[in-house]
Structures are given as structure tokens and as C-alpha cells.
Structure 1
Amino acid sequence: MTETTGAAANRRRFLDAFSRFAGGDVDVLYSVLREDFVEHSPGNPSGRDAFVDFIRTAPVAGARLDLKRVVADDEYVVAHYLMTEPGGAGTAVVDIWRFEAGLIAEHWDVVQPVADGMF
């Protein structure tokens, strides 16, 4: 995968945004999500602005995020990480992000609680 392929560019965009988000910059989502962003997780809103407002108060915004692996192709970036809420147990997360013209158009996720030391 070269830096000029769609996969490499989307991976780089994702890693930059993930790093900023994990550092507390929720507003980075405004620069990486399409305005008509579609969220596929039940109970989470679609649309960039509604999704960012939702995430601002969601557990992930205040959690420690330890990225384990990232897989990318020309359209999708898949991230696997451990989310640890302050004073809480860890949660394994797999996010699937679909990119369109350099921005995230859709999102799916799978979350699973993990016992201490099992990740």
C-alpha cells in the first residue's frame, strides 16, 4: 500500500482524526464526517451535527482509547481498539468507517465488554 492509494490516504486521515479525538478533540469530527453522515448503530443519530452532539456526551468522549490495529482498503477503514472509561472496565470496539471523497460517509460498530487483562 503506497501513500498515493485511496487505502493509504484514508488510513492516514483516520489515524490523524483518531489521534486528535483520543486526545480530547471532539470537534475534529466536524472536519472528517460528511454533513449527510449515516450512523448504523441503533440509537445513535445520523447526520454530522447530530452525531457530534451525541458523541460529545457519550462514554467514548471521556475514555482512554488504545488503538490495537487498523485495516484499510480504498473505501473502508476498520479500527480495533480498547476503550476504557474512567474508573470503569474495558470495552473492545471495532469501528467500520466508509470513506467517500476523503470524508467519512458511514459508520458501523461492534462493542464487547472485556475482563481486566483479557485484551
Structure 2
Amino acid sequence: MTDPTETEHNRKLVLEGFAEFAKGNVDILRTLVREDFVEHSPGNPSGRDAFIDFIAHSPVAGARLELKRVIADGQYVVVHYLMITSDDERGTAVVDIWRLEDGLIVEHWDVVQPVPDPTEIPNGMF
């Protein structure tokens, strides 16, 4: 059974980190990501420092991030959001899955999908 206290603590950590990152504070990741962090997304490096350097120079660092939903269950927090960069007004739908241990992010997976023309999604993307 999932510990509701752990779930809420992890949810809060990720949401506060997301809010700071969305304001442009990439350094917040240094307080949230464990040194031996494991990345599961193709092309993204593992390890805290390598991951943060990669993210700091990626489109997400300068994008507008619009949080749509959060799902938390024990060690796992899932964040679903719209990422809009200066060169893509429709944006990209992103789902990040974070696994935490002892208050730090230890693993990450993501799913990234360009938002298609509204006529292709009559029920909406979000």
C-alpha cells in the first residue's frame, strides 16, 4: 500500500521544483536531483551534473511551461504539461515521470509529442 505522506511529500517537492524551473531557475534542479540520477529518455544523459547541463542548454529551459495535471503515487510523480518555445506556438505535450527516494529525484522517463493542428484533435490535446 502506498504511504499517503510519502506521496504528498513527493508531489509537493516536484510541484515546487516545477514552478521554480518554469520561472527560469534551472539551478533548482541541483537541490532536487540525486548525484547518481538515472535517465531513461533517449539522448538525455544520466548523472545529476550531466543531466542539468543538458537541460540548461535544451529548449525546455527557455520555454513557457503550462502545467495541466499531476499524478502522484508513493515514489512516483507524473507531470503533464504544455511546453511552448518561441519558434513553436502550438507547442509540445510532455509527460515527465519522476521517481524519488528520500526527497531526491533518482530516475526520469518522459513522453514528448508535438501538439497537432486542432482539427486533428477534436476533443483537445489536454
Quote the Cα distance in structure 2 between the aligned partners of 1:18 and 1:116.
27
Q: Which moved more, 1:67-76 or 1:107-116?
A: 107-116
1:46-76 Cα offsets, whole Å, 9 max, x none, are 0000000000110100000000000001110
With the length of structure 1 as denominator, give the TM-score of the two structures: 0.93
Q: Give the unaligned 5+ runs of structure 1.
A: none
Q: Give the unaligned 5+ runs of structure 2.
A: 119-123
Query: For 1:73-88, what aligned pairs fall within 5 Å after superposition?
Result: 73-88=73-88
Identity of aligned residues (%): 65
With the length of structure 2 as denominator, give the TM-score of the two structures: 0.88
Q: CA deviation at 1:26?
A: 0.3
Q: CA deviation at 1:87?
A: 2.9
Query: For 1:63-74, what aligned pairs fall within 5 Å after superposition?
Result: 63-74=63-74
Contact 1:10 1:74 in 2 (8 A): yes
Q: CA deviation at 1:116?
A: 5.2
CA RMSD between the two structures: 1.2
| Aligned: 1:20 with 2:37 | no
